[in-house]
Amino acid sequence: MFIDDNFIGNIQWTNEFLDEIMFLKIVWHSAVSTNLVKFPHLIQKMSASGCKSLFIGFESINSESIDSVHKVQNKIKDYETLIDCLHANDIMLNSRFNV
């Protein structure tokens, strides 16, 4: 597992890192934000490089709750698209929701 609060915080770095590990044939897991939905090509690349699961803090399915804590990256309308893309690329999702 790569311990990083947001593995995709710098997309250029993430792309370069994935290029470097692509041929190592390792299995890895990490944490990302829901902003990953904006980079479907990166999801494919993550899977090809050995990513088997990602942790994502969705926070809530209540938009008022998300707005109240100013979580601009958590767009409820994108959750399903992101989950579908992860599953289509054989990446398991570990997630957290606040109650």
| pLDDT tens digit sequence for 53-72 | 999 887 666 666 666 666 66
The residue among 68, 49, 14 whose CA lies nearest residue 6 is: 14
- E-strand spans in the chain? 28-32, 51-59, 92-97
Total tally of structural domains belonging to the chain: 1
Identify whether 19 is part of a domain.
no
Classified as helix, coil or strand, 51 is strand
> Does any domain span residue 35?
yes
Let me know if residue 58 belongs to a domain: yes
85 in any annotated domain: yes
Whether pLDDT at 34 is above 70: yes
**pTM (2 decimals)?**
0.85
Q: Which domain holds residue 50?
A: 26-97
Question: Which tokens is 82 given?
Answer: 């992101």
Residue 13 included in any domain: no
Structure tokens at 55: 């942790």
- How sure is the predictor about 88, in pLDDT bands with cuts at 50, 70 and 90? very high
